[in-house]
Structures are given as structure tokens and as C-alpha cells.
Homo-oligomer: A and B are copies of this chain.
């Protein structure tokens, strides 16, 4: 939430690295992340190697390790951008908003680089708190905006009641996020069943029905 201690391995624009010496190439960063995504598509997470990424990016392996501690962190950064493509369609109904986001998310999970990378880094993160933190910061928390924005609009339209207090509001948003993200991932990657409009409609009905039961009172 505040001043994270930055190691030399954090990426987003470190102001205060050293003032002297040759600066790191900015192009290299972009080339590396693009190479990582390309390698993910072709090879998938388990066969992706640092050497391969380096040679695709036209960069030495040392350059990779100077900037990221390892494969996991590199991949988190490489796929984080993909998730920012998700957006609330801005329809005039909460139902449509949710259905659309669900379908967008499912479409993203169809992309091989997202599918293979997402579960892999989550798996790595089960034993690595720093990585878990990085995933939350770079990917998960950024997408909560969709929940917050959707609720805001729905409340503005009167489709949803306002929350009594901020804590409840946050708790509810987290729950909704876990339900949506968790269910869609499970449907797509574990059950391996299609997430089509029909399914999205039913799931949205369940979610909103449950939501009104929860928010209306015990």
C-alpha cells in the first residue's frame, strides 16, 4: 500500500538506481518481455528457459538476471500486461457487465501464454511469499478495479444498494472477486469445459442472486 522497499530487481521505473555508469537499456526490457510471451506461446511454461528468452531477445543471460531474480518473476511481469486488456464494457446493466467480463476473462485464459503462465506462477507462489506478493501487485489487485467500478456504476443506477461501511464494502468486493476469478479459472482450466454465453448467463444469475441474499441482510 505504501513505499515498498525496492531491490535492484524491481522493474517499474526505479528512480534512484545509480547516477553514474552506463544506464540499462530500456529497449532490452521491452524485447525481453515480448520474447518471454512469444516463448510461452511456443513452448509453454515448463519448457521455457532463460537462455531461450535471452537469445530470442538478442540479449545476454546476465542481462536477464540483472533485472529479474528468476523465471517466475520474469513471467509474472511478462503476462501482467495481458490482464490489463480486460475492461468493463460500460453497458447499462450490471448483468451484462458481469457476463461480458466473464467472457473476456475466459477468452484471455484461452490464450496459451496466459493459461500456461498463470497457473504456473501461482503454483510457484505457494512456497514463495515474495512471488505471491508480486502476483497480487502486478496482476490480481489491478483487476479488482473491474469489480469496484462495476459495483459503483450499478449502485449509481440503483441496481445495487450502497454498502453500510467501507470494511463491508471491501470484504464483499474481495468475495466477489474470488468467486468470479476462481470459478472461471476452475471451469476453464480444471473442468476444461467451455465458458460460453449460456454458461456465463447462468453463472451471473447465481452470482447476483447470491449477492442480493448476502447484502440484503442475514
Contact = CB atoms under 8 A, between A and B. Distances in A.
A214 B202 contact: yes
Nearest to A218: B205
A42 to B, nearest CB: 11
B175 A182 contact: no
B122 A123 contact: yes
Find the residue from A125, A171, A179 having the highest chain B CB count within 10 A: A179
A57 interface: no
A158 interface: no
A189 interface: yes
A212 B207 CA distance: 11
Contact of A185 (B115, B136, B182, B202): B182
A121 to B, nearest CB: 8
A209 B213 contact: yes
Contact of A211 (B123, B191, B206, B212): B206
Contacts of A214: 202, 205-206, 209
A182 B186 contact: yes
7 contacts: A44-B126, A45-B127, A175-B202, A177-B191, A182-B182, A206-B213, A208-B213
